[in-house]
Amino acid sequence: MGRSARTDGAKVDGILLLDKPEGITSAEAVRRIKRKVGVKVGHLGTLDPFATGLLPLCLGEATKIAQFLNAADKEYEGVIALGVATDTGDRTGQPIGEEPVPALAAADLERTVDRMRGRSMQKPPMYSALKRDGVPLYKLARQGVEVEREPREIVVRELELVDLGDGRLSFRVACSKGTYVRVLAEDIGRELGTVAHLAELRRTAFGAFRLADGAADVDRWDPASGEGLMSIREALAGLPAVDLSDKAAAAVQRGQGWVLRDLEIRDAAAQNALLLAASGRPLAVVQRSGEGWKFARVLN
What integer pLDDT is reported at residue 141 of this predicted model?
Answer: 87
Tell me: do 91 and 192 sit in the same domain. Answer: yes
**Residue 1 resides in a domain:** no
Whether 267 and 174 share a structural domain: no
Three-state SS sequence of 229-243: EECHHHHCCCCCEEE
- Told to judge if 48 belongs to the known catalytic residues of this protein, a careful annotator would answer yes
- Within this chain, do residues 44 and 19 fall inside the same structural domain, yes or no? yes
Shared-domain flag, residues 161 and 85:
yes
Q: Identify whether the C-beta of residue 73 lies closer than 8 Å to the C-beta of residue 207.
A: yes
Instruction: Kindly state whether residues 110 and 188 are assigned to the same domain.
Output: yes
For the segment 236-265, the average pLDDT, to the nearest whole number, is 91
Do 200 and 116 reside in the same domain of the chain?
yes
| pLDDT of 136 strictly over 90 | no
120 and 150 part of one domain: yes
Whether 42 and 31 share a structural domain: yes
The set of residues, in sequence order, having a beta carbon less than 8 Å from that of 178 and lying 6+ positions away, is 122, 152, 154
Q: Which of 91-100, 145-154, 219-228, 260-269 has the lowest mean pLDDT?
A: 260-269
| Least confidently predicted of 124-138, 141-155, 218-232 | 124-138
CATH code: domain of residue 166: 3.30.2350.10
Question: Around 148, how many Cα atoms within 13 Å sit in the side-chain half-sphere?
Answer: 1
Q: Could you say which of 19, 48, 90, 187 is catalytic?
A: 48
Task: Please check whether residues 260 and 244 belong to one and the same domain.
Answer: yes
Domain with 152, as residue range(s), is 74-204
Q: What is the distance between the alpha carbons of residues 67 and 71, in angstroms, rounded to a whole number? A: 7
Same domain, 39 and 81: no
The percentage of residues in the chain with a pLDDT greater than 70, rounded to a whole number, is 96
Same domain, 21 and 109: no
How many structural domains does the chain have? 3
Of 11-20, 107-116, 133-142, 245-254, the range with the highest mean pLDDT is 107-116
128/166 same-domain check: yes
C-alpha 32/C-alpha 221 separation (Å) is: 10
Task: Give DSSP secondary structure letters for 97-124.
Answer: EE-PPPP--HHHHHHHHHHHSEEEEEPP
